[in-house]
Amino acid sequence: METSGAGPADVAAAARAYDLGTLHAPPVSAARGQQGVVWRVETDRGRFAVKELIQPVTEPQVALDVALQSAMVDRGVHTPRPLPTPAGSVLAAVSGRLFRAYTWVDVEDERLDLDPAALGTLLATLHRDPIPADPPIDPWYTDPVPHGDWADVTGRLAAAGAPFAAEFAASVPHFRAMQDLFRPAGPTQLCHRDLWAGNIRLSPDGLCVIDWDNCGPAEAAQELTMPLFDFCHRSPGRAGAFYRAYLDAGGPARLTGRGDFTMVLAQFGHFAITAGKRWLEAADDAGRARAEAWFREGWERPLDMAGIDDLLEAVRL
């Protein structure tokens, strides 16, 4: 269940814990995602992002994303750099809440029309010279939602009168059918694992990758289909340009079949079931509205068999 609720005073205290400097103004809430709430902090040392984490994590759990994000900064990928406290820890506990800190990057709102060639080149940079990461892979990225969970949440949403209960029930046969396409992951490497359009943004310095919190072991080909779908769905010309640029820039993954979309399809199923559970667990209307909006993102823009085959045809060499 969500544990967020920090205010400007809490964020200011977190900024002091990271020794970010003397504040010029109260912190400002800048963005909210599934992992946390990002605040903009301005001090005499510059601008920073302080992120309140919604879900609890530990130092060992965040070590992977710090390693990958820092390595990609050194590789030339445009992304905020994670900042430690003076004691060297990544996390800071303030008023019973967990925080992280980063350098600040100005980014535009989410867009689906970013240059596909630039996107392909970016993905190649992320995948080249991989950082080893051995299995196991989190089941969120590989496994279908158990049939019993679908039945349970469907019934509970209907009984609670959820405004999307009918749509949720109608989506279940689709998710269960798509599970037949899943295949085990091949060779793994350390991956971002959350490369949806919301986390690849345009900035004054080009494409910027944000929100590395979910990184871990994955197969590069299965990660590649995530931005391929989000930025190129129903657009074969964009899909072809994306994949050609990826290959030309030395991207190692190769797309060969429907099973390459396992990570995308697994996440869509888990997004839907988790959104349903969060609606049922929400303590207020705002929490229920966020959960419903999360479900409707997938409901309104699903990936079906025809969509997968169109993308595979577009990237066929």
If asked whether residues 85 and 197 sit together in one domain, one would say: no
If asked whether residues 146 and 272 sit together in one domain, one would say: yes
For residue 111, tell me if it sits in a domain: no
For residue 3, what pLDDT is reported?
45
If asked whether residues 61 and 138 sit together in one domain, one would say: no
Residue 56, preceding peptide bond in cis (omega within 30° of 0): no
**Last residue in a domain, options 72, 103, 134:** 103
Domain count, the chain: 2
If asked whether residues 123 and 256 sit together in one domain, one would say: yes
If asked whether residues 167 and 289 sit together in one domain, one would say: yes
For residue 267, tell me if it sits in a domain: yes
Q: What is the pTM of this model?
A: 0.93
If asked whether residues 15 and 158 sit together in one domain, one would say: no
For residue 151, tell me if it sits in a domain: yes
Read off the CATH number of the domain in which 76 is found.
3.30.200.20
For residue 33, what pLDDT is reported?
79
For residue 235, what pLDDT is reported?
97
For residue 3, tell me if it sits in a domain: no
If asked whether residues 183 and 241 sit together in one domain, one would say: yes
Q: How crowded is residue 224: how many other Cβ atoms within 10 Å of its Cβ?
A: 30
If asked whether residues 172 and 92 sit together in one domain, one would say: no
The token pair at 112 is 């689906």
The token pair at 199 is 């986390």
**Last residue in a domain, options 73, 103, 133:** 103
For residue 255, what pLDDT is reported?
98
If asked whether residues 95 and 120 sit together in one domain, one would say: no
For residue 217, tell me if it sits in a domain: yes
For residue 2, tell me if it sits in a domain: no
If asked whether residues 184 and 80 sit together in one domain, one would say: no
**Last residue in a domain, options 36, 69, 103:** 103
Structural domain containing residue 84: 8-103
For residue 155, tell me if it sits in a domain: yes
If asked whether residues 149 and 171 sit together in one domain, one would say: yes
Q: What is the mean pLDDT of each run of 10 residues along the chain (317 residues)?
A: 72 97 95 87 97 92 90 94 96 94 96 98 97 94 97 98 98 97 97 97 96 95 98 97 98 98 98 98 96 97 96 94
If asked whether residues 127 and 161 sit together in one domain, one would say: yes
For residue 110, tell me if it sits in a domain: no
Read off the CATH number of the domain in which 141 is found.
3.90.1200
